[in-house]
Amino acid sequence: MELNELSIKLASFETEGVSFESFLIANEGEQDVLQVIVDGNDELPIFVTQTEEQLLCISYLFAEDEVQADMRNELNETLLRLNVPIPLSAFAKIDDKYAIFGALSVNSSFDDITHELVTLADNAIDALEAVTIYLND
Amino acid sequence: MSILKKLFTAVRGGAREAGQAIVDANGIRIFEQEIADAQNALQRAKKSLTEVMAKEMQTKRKISALDASIAEHEAYAGQALEKGNEALALEIAEKIGDFEAEKAENEEVLAGFSNHIVQLKQQVKEAEKSIKENQRQLTMVKTTESVQQATMAVNSTLNTNSSSMTSARESLERIKQRQQDRQDQLGAAKQLEADTNGDDLKAKMAEAGIGDTSPKSADILARIKAKQNS
């Protein structure tokens, strides 16, 4: 599914009691990115990128400099340990930002994609809540 | 060096400037060309494999036909001997000799084909494995590239958007506040609905024994007993 098609479908769709807002980030000639806001939580947008094989859904959680310096190792260790139990999503680091993401096959159905988006949005909030103890005040 | 190892080294180095490609575009093109070449080679190997397999079958058929002819002529030779015609039997024996020579030739050819098939199958298997491996590695490189490009696009959007400057802690607080607001709204809506329907008042009156109280079973039983006694 093309990202603009996904955007149109998301606009008129509601699942698991949740609605979506989305818009395409213009990126002339380069990788297209669709910004998706689940359930009005525009603080934690999900960025959807399509590659040849995968649909990557990424949500940025916090920047490296927000982490209490002496707790960085513990945080990294915790995130690694949480990677398996957390449903459908995994933690990652992109440049200096910590992120949570899910990767889907490009052949995924619309239902699969919305389920992924809803789960990722929930996971992002839960994850942020769980790691605040490691962040600067 | 595997692509994953290259990526690992690049990430570990950390000195990369934002957006700097880990594997240059030219490298990716060469890699893609290698995969395409391997796929062509694979197609050719598969085609010759089917050809050789067809020839192997033909040769096997030829050998069994020769076996049949040999058995047939041995029977003829036996019959000739039974009839005392030694000369004819000898002639037939010569014919059998020809068949056997032809069979031996064909068996040699068959062995050649069979060996060739084993080799080709091995080649096909190896080519398939190597293509799959290269594609997997190429996917890794391309995904890394895509994520880099996407990150740049996202960053340029985030930088023009003031809400992105807030810390994760503040974001979380806002989200939690919004969730709380929503719950409060939902609770208020329920309360309002209950008030409008008068459910709340009715419940309170029933509790106080005022209004339409439903008769209790004990009262009903007492009424029945009273009737019986009268």
Task: Specify the pLDDT at position B169.
Answer: 85
Note whether residue B106 is domain-resident: yes
CATH number of A92's domain: 3.30.1460.10
Give residue for tokens 């093309």.
Answer: A2
How many structural domains does chain A have? 1
Mean pLDDT over residues B32-51, rounded?
89
Largest Cα separation within chain B, whole Å, is: 137
Per-residue pLDDT band for A26 (boundaries 50, 70, 90) equals confident
Instruction: Tell me whether residue B29 is in a domain.
Output: yes
For residue B140, the domain's CATH number is 1.10.287
- Higher-pLDDT residue of A50, A137: A50
Q: How confident is the model at residue A95 (pLDDT cuts 50, 70, 90)?
A: confident
Sheet holding A18-25, edge to edge: A14-15, A18-25, A33-38, A46-50, A54-63, A97-105, A90-94
Of A85-89, B58-62, B88-92, B152-156, the one with minimum mean pLDDT is B152-156
Residue B150 sits in the same domain as residue B78: yes
Total structural domains within chain B = 2
The pTM of the whole model exceeds 0.90: no
- Give A128 or B229, the one with higher predicted confidence: A128
Residue B223 falls inside a structural domain:
no
Q: What is the pLDDT of residues B76-118, one digit of tens each?
A: 999 999 999 999 999 999 999 999 999 999 999 999 999 999 9
The whole-angstrom distance between B143's CA and the closest CA on chain A is 6
Chain B residues at the A interface, defined by Cβ less than 8 Å, are: 18, 139, 142-143, 146-147, 149-154, 157-158, 163, 166-172, 174-176, 178
Tens digit of each residue's pLDDT (9 = 90 or more) over B59-72: 999 999 999 999 99
Whole-complex ipTM: 0.76
Q: What is the pLDDT of residue B26?
A: 72
Residue A84's φ and ψ, nearest 5 degrees, are: -75, -50
Query: Are B111 and B174 in the same domain?
Result: no
Residue at B191 is within a domain: yes
**Does residue B62 sit in the same domain as residue B172?**
no
Among A19, A30, A32, A66, the residue to mutate for chain B (most B Cβ within 10 A): A30
Boundary (domain end) residue, out of B160, B187, B220 = B160
Specify whether B92 is located in the same domain as B134: yes
Amino acid symbol at B101: A
Do B50 and B129 reside in the same domain of the chain?
yes
B124 assigned to some structural domain:
yes
Do B66 and B159 meet the contact criterion of CB atoms below 8 Å apart? no
Instruction: Tokens for A135, please give them.
Output: 């962040």
Interface test with B, best of A3, A18, A27, A43 (most B CBs within 10 A): A43
Looking at the structure, tell me whether residues B79 and B142 fall in a common domain. yes
Q: Is residue B56 part of a domain?
A: yes
* Model confidence at B137: pLDDT above 90: no
Residues with Cβ within 8 Å of A64's Cβ and at least 6 positions away in sequence, in order, are A93, A96, A97, A98
Q: What pLDDT, in 10s, does the model give residues A31-53?
A: 889 999 998 888 899 999 998 88
pLDDT of residue B10: 66
The pair phi, psi for residue A59, each rounded to 5°, is -125, 125
Among candidate residues B113, B122, B114, the one with its CA nearest the CA of residue B46? B122
- In this prediction, residues B13-32 reach a mean pLDDT of 64
Give the number of residues written for chain A.
137
Residue B204: CA atoms inside 13 Å, Cβ hemisphere, count?
Answer: 6
Residue type, A70: D
* Same-domain status, B205 and B124: no
DSSP codes of every residue in chain A:
--HHHHHHHHHT-EETTEEEEEEEEP-TTS--EEEEEETT-TTS-EEEEE-SSEEEEEEEEEEGGGB-GGGHHHHHHHHHHHTTTSSS-EEEEETTEEEEEEEEETT--HHHHHHHHHHHHHHHHHHHHHHGGGB--
For residue B162, is pLDDT > 60?
no
Last residue of some domain: B97, B132, B160?
Answer: B160
For A122, name the nearest residue in chain B, comparing CA atoms only: B175
Over residues A123-130, the mean pLDDT reads 91
Chain B neighbors of A35, CB-CB under 8 A: 154, 157
Contact B154 A47 (CB under 8 A): yes
Mean pLDDT of B156-178: 75
Q: B13 in a domain, yes or no?
A: no
- B169's tokens: 């802690």
pLDDT band at B15 (very low <50, low <70, confident <90, very high): very low
Q: Is residue B141 part of a domain?
A: yes
Closest to B144 measured CA to CA, from B34, B229, B19, B59: B19
Question: Among A6-10, A117-121, B55-59, B100-104, which is the least confidently predicted range?
Answer: A6-10
Residue A41: which domain range?
A: 3-134
Determine the Cα–Cα distance for residues A71 and A129; give it in Å rounded to an integer.
16
Distances (CA, A) of B216 to B141, B207, B209: 77, 13, 11
Q: How confident is the model at residue B194 (pLDDT cuts 50, 70, 90)?
A: confident
Asked whether residue B57 falls in the same domain as residue B134, the answer is yes
Q: Which two tokens stand for residue B217?
A: 């079973």
**Does B17 have pLDDT greater than 60?**
no
**B43 and B145 fall within a common domain:** yes
B181 and B96 in a single domain? The answer is: no
- The pLDDT value recorded for residue A55 is 93
Indicate whether B96 and B42 sit together in one domain: yes
Asked if residue B197 and residue B95 are part of one domain, the reply reads no
Domain assignment of residue B206, given as a range: 168-210
Residue-level pLDDT at A73? 94
**Mean pLDDT in chain B?**
83
Q: What percent of chain B is predicted at pLDDT more than 70?
A: 84
